């Protein structure tokens, strides 16, 4: 006969087993509801910047060409407030930009997935010296394709506004046109922007001259920050 003591309940052992099972069950429920394991603050990774922040345009910022910024600063030195000086320059100096109503997608004729290298994406712009500047489709090393894909600029109005002045710098066969996003309250520079124009009519990459007889035109447009991509809000100016 088996001693009755073998069938006596073991309260401590039973309670410990139930506690362990209950703890495991609660942990599984918590994991299923959160989808992740809780980490301590010291091991948690910093939260990435939100998409909304990437799209945020600095409050009170305006875009001015290098020519107009110089004029605004001169008026401000004479006693006008920055906002009043900007308004005066915009009213009397800056010509209106004629913007095509076509979308960016329709401006890029597609041929086997790529647009035509020499095709101008809109009518040639005229800079402050009277020079005709085409902005061609190009490829990843030149023109509108490079501007969009490498530098993230899809606002053609911004490109056209950069040409509302004479070149700010000449480097060999290339011309530079500078513009600045500034704070209208104190004229501090938020973001420099630059367009580079190639004045030759010959493409070293293609080994041929432009078929329309014009210069190659816009080489690139980029933000002078050291990073390849411009902030997203540059296209909202």
Give percent above pLDDT 90 in the chain: 57
pTM: 0.71
Q: What is the pLDDT of residues 9-57, one digit of tens each?
A: 444 444 455 444 544 444 443 433 333 333 333 333 333 333 444 568 8
Domain boundaries, the chain: 59-95+109-236
Whether 192 shows a pLDDT value over 60: the answer reads yes
Predicted pLDDT at 29: 39
For 101-106, what is the mean pLDDT? 39
For 166-186, what is the mean pLDDT? 96
Predicted pLDDT at 205: 84
For 182-197, what is the mean pLDDT? 96
Predicted pLDDT at 38: 33
Whether 216 shows a pLDDT value over 50: the answer reads yes
Whether 98 shows a pLDDT value over 60: the answer reads no
Between helix 66-77 and helix 82-92 the angle, nearest 10°, is 130
For 124-137, what is the mean pLDDT? 95
């Amino acid at each position: 006969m088996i001693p009755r003591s073998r069938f006596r309940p073991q309260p401590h052992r039973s309670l410990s087993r139930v506690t362990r099972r209950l703890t495991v069950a609660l942990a599984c429920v918590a994991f299923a509801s959160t989808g992740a394991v809780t980490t301590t603050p010291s091991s948690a990774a910093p939260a990435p910047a939100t998409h909304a922040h990437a799209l945020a345009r600095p409050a009170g910022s305006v875009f001015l060409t290098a020519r107009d910024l110089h004029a605004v600063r001169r008026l401000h030195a004479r006693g006008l407030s920055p906002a009043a000086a900007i308004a005066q320059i915009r009213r009397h100096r800056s010509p209106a930009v004629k913007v095509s109503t076509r979308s960016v997608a329709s401006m890029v004729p597609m041929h086997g997935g790529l647009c035509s290298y020499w095709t101008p994406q809109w009518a040639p712009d005229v800079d402050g010296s009277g020079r005709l500047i085409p902005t061609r489709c190009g490829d990843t090393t030149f023109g509108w394709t490079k501007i969009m894909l490498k530098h993230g600029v899809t606002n053609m109005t911004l490109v056209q506004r950069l040409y509302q002045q004479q070149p700010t710098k000449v480097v060999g066969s290339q011309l530079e046109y500078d513009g600045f996003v500034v704070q209208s309250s104190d004229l501090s520079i938020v973001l420099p922007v630059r367009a580079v124009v190639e004045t030759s009519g010959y493409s070293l990459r293609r080994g041929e001259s432009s078929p329309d007889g014009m210069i190659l035109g816009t080489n690139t447009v980029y933000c002078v920050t050291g990073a390849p991509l411009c902030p997203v809000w540059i296209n909202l100016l």
